[in-house]
């Protein structure tokens, strides 16, 4: 038994790493071993929604959280003043150290081998569906039982800078044309998508005194539930603003932009628009924020996040120098757009295997997503499920109320996407169930089933979960009255105690500040236990979140019960929905296009009514009893 993963980006790293941790002999095939883990765009990990997925990856034994902690040079919790459910950890990573760390991790992982080469095609036994392996451009062959394809932007990729069009997977690296053409020839539905990068500037040419300083958190919060805390020197980022002169430069040269000059046919990411798009689509906005972020402690490069562009280099230079603090700025690497092949994710099963291509899984930008974290989440699940298919085990499907990774994959394979998909907390209808800092306990049963965590890591999670349960129980049984140890604290804080209540009921009150909560919790024996894995500030926030949102979570849980029932009803593979009486032509077309595997999936297809799903359910049950 053997698995091959094609591509050394963030999806490929997770797929190969998790497969090897599951004990499967695995080979990671990549164009350039020195570029494993390369951060082609902004060297940052996490954010709102994205950071949730990084912590879920870590809870399941993934690599990204640990790599980000080891390479992080600027950590911030986004939405820190809001509820725990929508907080998002984010880190600016040292691009060089992240890449080196990724390669070292893979090289030191048992059962995993690295191979440099260019995949030219996939091979099946002639006249059968039996997958045989991967053909390389140098004429060699890698036999395997399954392949996870994580090609990123390399499939028929083209870099565009103004009118210049360069066949490339990203700047300085060749495109994968042979494999791209084979996939097209197999009859898969594909489209062209686009993404882009910003120019990188020489640090010494920037007047930082004119920029707004954006410091990181005083105490960096790690992504990983298991690894050591971040140890690299921490640096500040900065914020700049575009000016009216920047807008003038852009508007006067729109015809020279690859996008607006008609040189790009692909659709770009809605939530990460180019600077050209910002000025064209938001004409009433006088200026746009640009985040000035370091690439590495080892280099002089500064990344201008928010200034993604496909303008010619001379125009980029004028754009950059039009901003305050950048009057003498020197571009070290120009920004560029890149266009590439992506395949309709409606052609995927829920385990990310490709319909009609035995032994093949897709993960990452090939499925129409954008972002390192989205790619990593797909890579992890594709690697897990490829291994389980080889071993004839049932796939792992993460429910929408269990993980943001599950939300993303369900969105892709159920609804599809016409533009690069980015994870947002708004995409999850069960956000209260998906707080990222509770991912370790929530996903522990799956991690234990997969065997992707060590005995020590499992023990760490179990101890933390058990202590949280005891803390919650003690809060619900501790009585707050004038005569108990909690009474003076409550009264001094102005909290009325007309009648007694439990500590949990008191903590539900919004007027109980963090300071009062800390004083109250300090009276509990479970709170004062020594434990290096217990962060009092974080645990207090999680406790307040749980007790204050308990009624909403209970209501959400009741609603989920009905949805779960439909998610467990499989639509038989041979079931011909198009032949059902009583369904409109429109509904039949939608079912044919989206090919739902369960009634739950069918119910989430845009435009499908509950009545149509109920009828489908009735016909399935009738067919089973016939």
Helix/strand/coil for 132: strand
Question: What pLDDT does 562 receive?
Answer: 64
| Same domain as 160, residue 17 | yes
Regarding predicted confidence, which is higher, 385 or 260?
Answer: 385
Kindly state whether residue 524 falls inside one of the protein's structural domains: yes
Question: What pLDDT does 558 receive?
Answer: 73
User: What whole-number distance in Å separates Cα of residue 563 and Cα of residue 559?
Assistant: 7
Dump pLDDT digits (tens) for 298-357: 999 999 999 999 999 999 999 999 999 999 999 999 999 999 999 999 999 999 999 999
Kindly state whether residue 558 falls inside one of the protein's structural domains: no
Q: Give me the torsion for CA of 550, 548, 503, 497, rounded to 10°.
A: -130
CATH number at residue 599: 1.10.150.570
Kindly state whether residue 71 falls inside one of the protein's structural domains: no
CATH number at residue 303: 2.40.30.260
| Same domain as 386, residue 430 | yes
Helix/strand/coil for 365: helix
User: What percent of the chain is modeled with pLDDT above 90?
Assistant: 72
Kindly state whether residue 45 falls inside one of the protein's structural domains: no
pLDDT band at 570 (very low <50, low <70, confident <90, very high): confident
| Same domain as 265, residue 282 | yes
| Same domain as 252, residue 296 | yes
| Same domain as 230, residue 179 | no
| Same domain as 382, residue 462 | no
Beta bridge partners of 290: 240
Q: Tell me which DSSP letter residue 234 carries.
A: P
Smallest Cα–Cα separation from 351: which of 400, 318, 415, 395? Answer: 395
At residue 211, does pLDDT exceed 70?
A: yes
User: What percent of the chain is modeled with pLDDT above 70?
Assistant: 99
Which of 292-296, 388-392, 480-484 has the weakest average pLDDT? 480-484
Kindly state whether residue 358 falls inside one of the protein's structural domains: yes
| Same domain as 289, residue 209 | yes
| Same domain as 160, residue 16 | yes
Residues 37-49 have a mean pLDDT of 94
CATH number at residue 183: 3.50.50.60
Question: What pLDDT does 191 receive?
Answer: 94
The structural domain count of the chain equals 4
Contacts of 624 (CB under 8 A, 6+ apart): none
Domain extent, residue 534, equals: 455-552
User: What whole-number distance in Å separates Cα of residue 71 and Cα of residue 81?
Assistant: 26
Is the full-model pTM beyond 0.85? yes
| Same domain as 351, residue 334 | no
Kindly state whether residue 74 falls inside one of the protein's structural domains: no
Dump pLDDT digits (tens) for 573-594: 777 777 777 777 777 787 788 8
Examine the fold and report which residue of 450, 470, 497 is the final residue of a domain before the chain moves on.
450
Examine the fold and report which residue of 450, 474, 496 is the final residue of a domain before the chain moves on.
450
Kindly state whether residue 208 falls inside one of the protein's structural domains: yes
| Same domain as 359, residue 459 | no
Kindly state whether residue 50 falls inside one of the protein's structural domains: no
Residue 94 contacts residue 70 (beta carbons within 8 Å): no
Q: Give me the torsion for CA of 501, 505, 510, 513, rounded to 10°.
A: 80
| Same domain as 13, residue 129 | yes
Q: Tell me which DSSP letter residue 270 carries.
A: T
Instruction: Give the long-range contacts of residues 465-468, CB within 8 A, separation 24 or more.
Output: 465/440, 465/441, 467/526, 467/529, 467/531, 467/534, 468/441, 468/539, 468/542, 468/543
CATH number at residue 462: 1.10.10.1800
Residues in the chain: 626
Examine the fold and report which residue of 428, 450, 472 is the final residue of a domain before the chain moves on.
450
| Same domain as 157, residue 95 | yes
At residue 624, does pLDDT exceed 80?
A: no
Average pLDDT, the chain: 92
Which of 112-126, 145-159, 449-463, 539-553 has the weakest average pLDDT? 539-553
Question: What pLDDT does 321 receive?
Answer: 98
User: What whole-number distance in Å separates Cα of residue 626 and Cα of residue 622?
Assistant: 6
């Amino acid at each position: 038994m053997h698995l091959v993963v094609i591509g050394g980006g963030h999806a490929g790293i997770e797929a190969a790493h998790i497969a090897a941790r599951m004990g499967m002999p695995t080979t990671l095939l990549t164009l350039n071993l020195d570029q494993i883990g390369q951060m082609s765009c902004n060297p940052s990990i996490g954010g709102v929604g994205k950071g949730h997925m990084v912590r879920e990856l870590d809870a399941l034994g993934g690599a990204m959280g640990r790599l980000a902690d080891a390479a992080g040079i600027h950590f911030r919790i986004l939405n820190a003043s809001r509820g725990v459910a929508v907080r998002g950890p984010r880190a600016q990573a040292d691009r060089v150290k992240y890449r080196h760390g990724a390669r070292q991790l893979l090289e030191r992982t048992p059962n995993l081998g690295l191979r440099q080469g260019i995949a030219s095609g996939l091979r099946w036994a002639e006249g059968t569906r039996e997958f045989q392996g991967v053909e390389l451009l140098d004429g060699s062959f890698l036999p395997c039982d399954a392949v996870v394809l994580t090609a990123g932007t390399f499939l028929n990729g083209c870099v565009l800078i103004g009118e210049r069009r360069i066949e490339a997977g990203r700047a300085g690296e060749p495109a994968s044309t042979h494999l791209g053409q084979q996939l097209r020839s197999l009859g898969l539905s594909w489209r062209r998508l686009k993404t882009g990068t910003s120019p990188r500037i020489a640090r010494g040419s920037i007047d930082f005194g004119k920029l707004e300083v954006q410091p990181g958190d005083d105490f960096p919060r790690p992504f990983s539930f298991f690894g050591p805390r971040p140890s690299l020197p921490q640096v500040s980022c900065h914020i700049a603003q575009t000016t009216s002169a920047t807008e003038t430069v852009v508007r006067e040269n729109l015809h020279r932009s690859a996008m607006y000059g008609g040189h790009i046919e692909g659709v770009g990411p809605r939530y990460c628009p180019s600077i050209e798009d910002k000025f064209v689509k938001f004409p009433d906005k006088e200026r746009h924020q640009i985040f000035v972020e370091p690439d590495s402690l080892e280099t002089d490069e500064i990344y201008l996040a928010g200034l993604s562009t496909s303008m010619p280099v001379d125009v980029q230079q004028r754009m950059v120098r039009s901003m305050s603090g950048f009057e003498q700025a020197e571009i070290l690497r120009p920004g560029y757009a890149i266009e590439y092949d992506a395949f309709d994710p409606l052609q995927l099963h829920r385990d990310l295997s490709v319909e009609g291509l035995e032994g093949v899984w897709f993960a990452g930008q090939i499925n129409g997503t954008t972002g390192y974290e989205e790619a990593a989440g797909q890579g992890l699940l594709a690697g897990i499920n490829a291994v389980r298919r080889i071993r004839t085990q049932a796939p792992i499907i993460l429910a929408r109320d269990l993980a943001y990774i599950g939300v993303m994959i369900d969105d892709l394979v159920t609804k599809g996407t016409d533009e690069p998909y980015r994870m947002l907390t708004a995409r999850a209808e069960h956000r209260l169930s998906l707080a990222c800092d509770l991912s370790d306990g929530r996903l522990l049963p799956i991690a234990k089933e997969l065997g992707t965590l060590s005995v020590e890591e499992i023990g760490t999670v179990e101890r933390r979960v058990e202590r949280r349960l005891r803390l919650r129980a003690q809060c619900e049984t501790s009585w707050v009255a004038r005569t108990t140890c909690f009474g003076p604290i409550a009264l001094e804080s102005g909290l009325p105690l007309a009648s007694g209540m439990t500590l949990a009921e008191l903590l539900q009150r919004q007027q109980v500040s963090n300071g009062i909560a800390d004083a109250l919790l300090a009276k509990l024996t479970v709170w004062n236990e020594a434990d290096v894995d217990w962060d009092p500030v974080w645990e207090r926030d999680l406790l307040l979140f749980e007790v204050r949102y308990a009624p909403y979570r209970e209501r959400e849980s009741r609603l989920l019960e009905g949805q779960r029932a439909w998610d467990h009803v499989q639509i038989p593979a041979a079931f011909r929905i198009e032949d059902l009486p009583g369904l409109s032509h429109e509904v039949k077309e939608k079912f044919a296009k989206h090919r739902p595997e369960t009634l739950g999936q069918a119910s989430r297809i845009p435009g499908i009514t509950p009545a149509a799903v109920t009828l489908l359910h009735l016909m399935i049950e009738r067919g089973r009893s016939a």
